[in-house]
Structure 1
Amino acid sequence: MRCQRCGEREAIVRVKLPQESETDEKFLCSVCVRELAREYQGTACPSCGMTRQQLLHLRKVGCPTCYSFFKDEVDGMVRQFQHGHTQHYGSRPDEESVEKRLNQQLSRLKEQLNRKILAEDYEEAEVIKQQIESVEEDLRHV
């Protein structure tokens, strides 16, 4: 079979080339494969000048335009970082962090209550006691 790019040499490699609409599969000779690889690696973002090779090495984009210009590469990196997902999901705080925060608030309120009782400020102590009951109620629902 002849090379589908140059038509001169014998095709030895089957290559999937990204096209505008779909991936195109061609049979190419070794010379054409090397030429395409050089072109592919040397492609640079029109805004910041970052090359595909730099992007793949640094694993970071250079500017907002890089996201669309190197879409396939960025999607591949996101898939790798997100364990196969194509969108960034981020991380969620643990449920225990809410419980921990409420427990810390409860401890502070109890300390304040003890200080108000020792100072014989019973009106403030009653307000703090109501706050404690509210936090305890929140803790029951966590």
Structure 2
Amino acid sequence: MECQECHKNHAIVHFAQVINGDKTEIHVCQQCAKEKGYVSPDEDAYSLHHLLSGLFNPNSEAMQKLTEQEKEQQEIQCDKCGMTYQEFASIGKFGCASCYQTFSEHLNPLFRKVHSGNTIHEGKVPKRVGSDISQRKKVRELKVKLQQAIADEAFEDAAKIRDQIKGLEKNLNQHGGEGEV
């Protein structure tokens, strides 16, 4: 695709601009992008690295909105390797396996951003055991709903959910689905 500004070079910077509901797509080369201020002169356009590093950047707008208490929590250090959250944020890699546990409360929001809101890996289920696994999953989901219904004092809903759980557990036990649900 040709640059929309100079009409000479290949366009490598592409973005859409929406003003009052009108969408305009802009396609420019590296040189025109720098001249027009779409990228800073000392940067090489927008790379995947820049995009991902923004998620962990302690100076990003989202991170600057942290309260003082949250900023103090960022200084938590891993007991095994001594890495701080600030070091992880700037490097983008953990020092050891314990870092995952140490920084877990800070990681879930990041994982939600990266994985479209999901923080639990579901994976694929083999067909031959799929029904048992899906029923167990349904029971776990219903138990969470049951706890929420009880907390909300929606006891009629809680009774219905309890009955659904009992029915699924009975079905699992009859089909040889051993183990804790």
Q: TM range, normalised to the smaller chain? A: 0.3 to 0.5
Work out which structure has the larger RCO, using CA pairs closer than 8 Å and 6 or more positions apart in sequence: 1
Normalised to the residue count of structure 1, the TM-score between the two structures is 0.33
Normalised to the residue count of structure 2, the TM-score between the two structures is 0.27
Structure number with greater Rg is 1
